[in-house]
Amino acid sequence: MEQMWGMFALLSVLAALFVVTPFLRRERIVRVDHDANAERIAIYKQRLAELDEELANSRIDTLVHYESVREMKRRLLNELAPEQALTNRGDNRIFALTGLLFVTLFSVIFYQWKGNAKQVQDWYSAIEKLPEYGERAVLQDGEPLSANELQAFALGLRTKLAAEGDDAVAWMLLGRVAMSINDFEMAMQSFDRALEMNPNNPNVLVNYSQVLLIEGSESGMNRAARMLSKVLSQDPNNIDAISLLALIAYERKDWAEAKAAFEVLLANMDKADPRYSMIAARIDEINGHLSPSTSMAVAKTITVTVDIDPKLAENIPSNGVLFVFAKAVSGPPMPLAVAKLRDYRFPLTVTLDDSLAMMPELQLSQFEKVIVTARLSVDESVSPSKGELEGVSQTLELKEGENSQSITISRVY
């Protein structure tokens, strides 16, 4: 702030010098050379006498005499020095003081009118309070930020990013603050920058999906669904992602998928949670849209034969766990049925059915198209990790009763 006021003072001094300097300069005093003037007059009189003599002797006519005298007078007037020196330069200090006062008053009035002094002061204040705002917003330390403080927090973050360069955490935080002040365009731009630096950050993907849902366009909802599916591929139990997918399915009137997602949320929620009754009511509403044929699915099973490519036989982890699971092609991203085997020898056969559902409300029999995966896990988690071996089937259309599928583990994840 001191630097800004220093620049203002310097500019004011320069403006004052520009206005005052002309009034303070001394005017040049012209000195009269009386001897030179007397000599020029004497020459003039001598030449005039010669012209009169020539006219009298008829060596020139009257017209020539007249023109010659006039020319001599003109030259004499041009050559004579001023007869009076400039001795009084006036009291220019009054004009200088007047100009200085004018510049000062004009600068003050114009800055108050157009200078936005309060906004500049707020900007510097936002920069100074940025750490405090961060603690209150992120660490929930102290009073929640007011609307004006959120605006200042966003301004401080933008200044920090402009001065210090890209920071994925700062971009994500700016996006969340922009959401809080309903500046969804700035929020999307901020999340875009954060994803450029970390494309798989689940927090950014979930928050970005919220903005896209608020925006409400079909393309935005499709993009949000892809982002949430990406989150659930990393963390199948991410409640925030599941809840947003439930809302997307509900908006699209995809009742079966919406019901499955809401039932997953309900299963992971305490009955004392105030949202529990609201979600239960939403499920009852969805049941009213479902026909008896879709709400009561006929049991379906899949008999899966699993083998491994001989080229990968030496890469089988010593303490690995084999997961065989089915996921819906169009539906919740979490597995519908999962078989977990610690003791296995290839080839082997596994049966997937509703008894192996991860959630009682989300069963294999409710869906028509699935993809079956066999994965050798090194960390006992169904979520994929780098270096694990897996095989994936083509899309399998389920029919009522028994279905069969063969899978070869043939790639390294």
Same domain, 125 and 248: yes
Q: Give a yes or no: residue 140 inside a domain.
A: yes
Domain harbouring 326, CATH code: 2.60.40.1120
Residue 130: the pLDDT is 59
| Tens digit of pLDDT at every position of the chain (413 positions) | 556 556 656 766 666 666 556 655 555 544 555 667 788 888 888 888 888 888 888 888 888 888 888 888 888 888 775 554 444 444 566 666 776 677 677 666 765 665 555 555 554 555 565 556 556 666 566 666 667 777 777 777 777 777 777 778 888 888 888 887 888 888 888 888 888 888 888 888 988 988 888 887 888 888 888 898 888 888 888 888 888 888 888 888 888 888 888 888 888 888 888 888 888 888 888 887 775 544 455 689 999 999 999 999 888 888 889 999 999 887 777 888 999 998 888 999 999 998 888 776 678 888 889 999 999 988 877 777 888 899 999 999 999 889 999 999 999 88
**Residue 200 domain-assigned?**
yes
Positive or negative, the Cα torsion across 371, 373, 379, 381? positive
Residue 284 belongs to a domain: no
CB count, 10 Å around CB of 202? 18
Domain end position, chosen among 252, 283, 317: 252
Residues 10 and 55 placed together within one structural domain of the fold: no
Predicted local confidence at residue 92, as pLDDT:
61
CATH code for the domain in which residue 139 is found? 1.25.40.10
The verdict on 136 and 203 lying in the same domain is yes
* Model pLDDT, residue 389: 92
Query: Is there a single domain that holds both residue 66 and residue 179?
Result: no
Range of the structural domain that residue 50 is part of: 36-79
Q: Assess whether 301 and 337 both reside in one domain.
A: yes
Q: Is 289 part of any domain? A: no
Is 129 domain-assigned? Answer: yes
Q: Residue 388: which of 351, 405, 413, 362 has the closest Cα?
A: 413
Q: Do 317 and 353 fall within a single domain?
A: yes
Shared domain for 189 and 311, answered yes or no, is no
Number of domains within the chain? 4
163 with 203, same domain: the answer is yes
Give a yes or no: residue 60 inside a domain: yes
Whether 359 and 381 map to the same domain: the answer is yes
Same domain, 110 and 126: no
Tell whether 179 is covered by a domain: yes
Does any domain span residue 325? Answer: yes
Please report the pLDDT score of residue 21 as a whole number. 63
pLDDT of the residue at 256:
81
Verify that 390 and 353 share a domain, yes or no: yes
